[in-house]
Amino acid sequence: MTAEIETLYYLLIALAIGLMIGVERGWQERASQEGQRIAGVRTYGLIGLLGGSFGLLAQQYGELLLGLGFVAVSVVVGMIFLAKQKQNGEWGITSLVALLLAFILGALATNGEELVAAATAVVTVLLLSNKPQLHGLISRLQAEELRAGIKLLLISVVMLPVLPDQGFGPWQALNPFRIWLMVVVIAAISFAGYVAIKLGGTRRGILFTGLFGGLASSTAVTLHLSRLGKKSPGVLAVAASGILIACGTMYLRMLLVVGLLAPAMLTRFWPVVVLMAVLTYLPLLIYQRSATGQALDTATSIQNPLELKTALTFGAILMAVMLLSVMLREAYGDGGLMTLAALSGIADVDAMVLSLVGMVEGELAVRLFIMGCVIAACTNSIVKAMMCWFIGGKVLGIKAGVPLVLAGVVGVIVTWIGYW
């Protein structure tokens, strides 16, 4: 590609970025009369092209020229914006910001960052075109949820970079950076499911509710639906379906956590976990007809995972499990570690999985990693099956409890045969 063709290529990208933003803005303001809009599609395209031209000139005459060009465009556009807004009486600045962003992205495109500029333009158009959805999202969030999220984000942003990334305590088992990183990952995944349930779970039906409830807390969903099945025998099939979807999603959640924190283990880990998930989901083919289209109120049964107290409690549990993992393995070998996996799974799967993830760097054998995770998941599934039986009753115990036990036991047997 010659220099002239390359320059033309960059300028065309700058023009396309401006036109793309302009088309979205033009569609949003299509009801406005001619001359009432701050800028049309052509203007956005020209602003993008102007930014690209200034970006090319700045390569020859210095970056100061690009800065002066941006200031000049900002002043001109700002004056036009003020005049139009005084005339119309509306003071939204979205279109003004979009114009200035088109200039910046155009300049970025001609400075060798065309992929970044194009990707940013796509995200910009996505944000601009989803105003009702974004406003609806904000209106449905509660104040305490917003505050909890902000608190944890602030603590993570401030604390995570300064926490020492080294082992402390007995056997150097406690790494503050790794522990807090794991807490943030788990809280973020859980919060995604929690928000999804809060925003639309009770209206979206059994699949939506069980899926995102499983991301947030499959144990909480199981307990809640077991109680619901006991009170309302007519919804047993719906409750069983919700429990199985949530518990099957727990296995997918395990894959997500391992994929994020220990991707090297994922290749040999996923087959047995997917098998356990499939066995959990399989009875849904029978229950589907009676559960289709019905909704479950699980939002009230799940605690906000971004509450600071919840996050710190999980962090403390994780520290204890990590320390016990090393202690029991030192004292009793692999058997001690597997015993802890079984005991830990009674209350929580995440803590044991994360503890084993932390031991991977210490050259924990793949077979021990997989077996420990599967044993913890098996124990947890058996506990949830007991919830179904003793809280929800015999019918729910058969419909939901038996598949949970089957999935857990088969997972342990397959892992033992395949890796031991």
| Model confidence pLDDT, tens digit, residues 310-368 | 667 777 777 788 778 777 777 777 788 888 888 888 877 888 888 888 776 655 678 88
135, part of any domain = no
393, part of any domain = yes
Residue scoring higher pLDDT (27 or 58): 58
47, part of any domain = yes
193, part of any domain = yes
Note whether 73 and 101 are same-domain residues.
Answer: yes
Q: Domain range holding 96?
A: 3-129
Note whether 304 and 340 are same-domain residues.
Answer: yes
From 85, 103, 129, the end of a domain falls on 129
Note whether 378 and 410 are within 8 A (CB).
Answer: no
Note whether 314 and 409 are same-domain residues.
Answer: yes
Note whether 106 and 14 are within 8 A (CB).
Answer: yes
Note whether 204 and 322 are same-domain residues.
Answer: yes
Note whether 267 and 310 are same-domain residues.
Answer: yes
Note whether 156 and 305 are same-domain residues.
Answer: yes
Q: What is the pLDDT of residue 405?
A: 95
How confident is the model over 86-105, as a mean pLDDT? 77
136, part of any domain = no
Note whether 146 and 116 are same-domain residues.
Answer: no
pLDDT band at 288 (very low <50, low <70, confident <90, very high): low
Question: How many domains would you assign to the chain?
Answer: 2
137, part of any domain = no
Q: What is the pLDDT of residue 262?
A: 85
Residue scoring higher pLDDT (36 or 73): 73
Is the whole-model pTM more than 0.95? no
> How far is residue 351 CA from its own chain's centroid?
19
Residue scoring higher pLDDT (224 or 375): 375
pLDDT band at 402 (very low <50, low <70, confident <90, very high): very high
How confident is the model over 289-317, as a mean pLDDT? 61
Note whether 125 and 194 are same-domain residues.
Answer: no
Of all residues in the chain, what percent carry a pLDDT higher than 90?
Answer: 13
Note whether 37 and 161 are same-domain residues.
Answer: no
**93: which 2 tokens?**
């600045």
From 75, 97, 129, the end of a domain falls on 129
Three-class secondary structure of residue 91 per DSSP = coil
Note whether 400 and 286 are within 8 A (CB).
Answer: no
Q: What phi and psi, each to the nearest 5 degrees, are found at residue 412? A: -65, -45
The pLDDT tens digits of the residues spanning 100-139 come to 888 999 898 888 888 888 888 888 888 887 766 666 656 6
Mean of all residue pLDDT scores within the chain: 78
Q: What is the pLDDT of residue 407?
A: 95
Is 80 exceeded by the pLDDT of residue 14?
yes
Put residue 294 in one of left, alpha, beta given phi > 0 → left and psi -120 to 50 → alpha: beta
Note whether 122 and 99 are same-domain residues.
Answer: yes
- How many CB atoms within 10 Å of residue 2? 7
The pLDDT tens digits of the residues spanning 362-394 come to 556 788 889 999 999 999 999 999 989 998 888
Residue scoring higher pLDDT (263 or 209): 263
Note whether 278 and 385 are same-domain residues.
Answer: yes
Reduce the secondary structure of 263-325 to three states and give it as a string.
HHHHHHHHHHHHHHHHHHHCCHHHHHHHHCCCCCCCHHHCCCCCCHHHHHHHHHHHHHHHHHH
Beta bridge partners of 168: 174
Count the helices and strands in the chain (H runs, E runs).
19, 0
How confident is the model over 29-48, as a mean pLDDT? 69
Q: What is the pLDDT of residue 62?
A: 82
Cα 130 to Cα 270: distance, rounded to the nearest angstrom: 36
From 83, 103, 129, the end of a domain falls on 129
E strands in 130-277? none
pLDDT band at 200 (very low <50, low <70, confident <90, very high): low
Note whether 345 and 230 are same-domain residues.
Answer: yes
